Amino acid sequence: MSNSTYDALKAKVGRRSFIKMAAVATASSAVSAFASNDGVTREATAEEVKNPFPGSKKVKTICTACSVGCGVIAEVQNGVWVRQEVAQDHPVSLGGHCCKGADMIDMVRSEVRLKHPMVKEKGQWKRLSWDEAYDRIAKKMKDLREKESPDSTMFLGSAKMSTEQAYYFRKFAAMYGTNNIDHQARI
Ligand code: SF4
């Protein structure tokens, strides 16, 4: 690209965006250079295409997104979930999934997945133990019931609950003193 074209482009997109575009262009050139460099990348062998995760194990599990509990086959290599398939022989889903189940592997491996209770204090996120988290929630619920009223709280059930869990959840709301209870799928 000539200097005058560069200057015209810079004027059009603004300095900040121009710098970002230039960085992306430089990175793409570097990647192309690597890709064409023999010995750095190569075609997969027929064996690697057939079996890209040697030593992996197939583990039968279920989708955690709703109470249908569709069957999932998780392929695990060295403790990492690397690939998933539908469980053809699952008695409920019979080899089917909805789009949430088909993406279960990405949800489990997501970098933003919450793995522990967290609390934000003075602008900073802090990890809590489960006991601490339950204590804090219980205290907030008791305070709300005393200072406001039981009806200031709403209990929202989950599509992941079994019949027995739903029964206990209903009892819990009644014990707290409210009829404000519903199922999350209603919304
Ligand atoms: S695949 Fe879809 S329907 Fe099946 S359990 Fe997961 S969320 Fe529910």
65 CA to centre of ligand 1 in angstroms? 6
DSSP output for 53-93: STT-EEEEEE-SSSTT--EEEEEEETTEEEEEEE-TT-TTT
Tell me: the pLDDT tens digits for 41-96? 999 999 999 989 999 999 999 998 887 889 999 999 999 999 999 999 999 899 99
The protein residue whose alpha carbon is closest to atom 4 in ligand 1 is: 70
Residue 151 has pLDDT above 90, yes or no: yes
Question: Cβ distance 56 to 85 under 8 Å?
Answer: no
Q: Is 169 helix (H, G, I), strand (E, B) or coil?
A: helix
> Residue 164 pLDDT more than 70?
yes
Instruction: Please state, as a whole number, how many other Cβ atoms lie within 10 Å of the Cβ of residue 115.
Output: 6
Q: Is the pTM of this model over 0.95?
A: no
Return the closest-CA partner of residue 62 out of 14, 104, 112, 13.
104
Query: Across the chain, what does the average pLDDT equal?
Result: 84
**DSSP string across 100-127:** HHHTHHHHHH-TT---S-EEEETTEEEE
Which residue, 82, 84, 83, 57, is CA-closest to 71? Answer: 84
- Which residues line the pocket of ligand 1, CB cutoff 6 A? 63, 65-66, 68-70, 93, 97-98, 100-101
With the most atoms of ligand 1 within 8 angstroms of its CB, the residue from 62, 64, 67, 68 to mutate is 68
More confident residue, 162 or 41: 41
